[in-house]
Amino acid sequence: MSNRSTGGSLESAPGIVRFVTQAVWTLIPVISLSFLSFIPAAQVYWRARTSGWLLTLVLLVVASGTVITAMAMDASGAGFGGLLIATAGGGVAAAAAGRRIMFGRPTPDVDPAIEEVLRNRERRGQAREIAVNDPAMALELGIGQPDVPGSYADGGLVDLNNASAGGIASVLSLDPATAEAFVAGREARRGYASLAEVGALSNLDPRALEASAEWIVVLPYRGRGTAV
């Protein structure tokens, strides 16, 4: 029982230290009697580098400087008390607003391979939207034609109606003979109306097509040498 309690205390210790650290940092304006009210804002600005935090920092530096000057001149009375409270309050408010910037947990590094996969998914989604909404533009951009130089970055799509045998073989991991036979059949038919028709009427395995559907588009057939 005592071991569990000790383990729980040790696990919660980092959280307690973090809380105390943030509380002390937030209260620097009060602890310093307004002299250092600008310190939290200065640290937040150093990280955020925004015009809003720069303005906040300047205002608090001016206010803290005024407090120090008034203290040096032995100022007293309600006016001086109000200045102290306003400067400390402004510093605390700025610290509270910037706490997440200062103490927020850093975003974990993402593996470059995962980033590339996510980017390509997004590109495929964007390319598909173009293919659905404006097929003529998709053809002009070369969407789904991986072997066309300078074609649109579509995330690895292949257009079964217009891509070359090499491009189809590369994206769908087909052997060259199968890809060549498919292209010959496509040219004879002058293209396919849909992926379902490709699966039903071509030499390609419908199950393999279904498994690779994320990488496939079927744009209007234009034939070799035909202008868009």
* Confidence (pLDDT) at 4: 47
* Confidence (pLDDT) at 227: 40
Backbone φ, ψ for residue 82 (5° rounding): -65, -40
Strand partners, 158: 216
Q: Report whether 87 contacts 36 (CB < 8 A).
A: no
Q: Report whether 216 contacts 158 (CB < 8 A).
A: yes
* Confidence (pLDDT) at 151: 78
* Confidence (pLDDT) at 71: 83
Q: Report whether 225 contacts 165 (CB < 8 A).
A: no
Q: Which of 224, 111, 110, 115 is nearest to 163 (CA)?
A: 224
End-to-end CA distance of the chain: 77
**Residue 39 to residue 30: CA distance in whole angstroms:** 12
Residues of the chain with pLDDT under 50: 1-11, 225-228
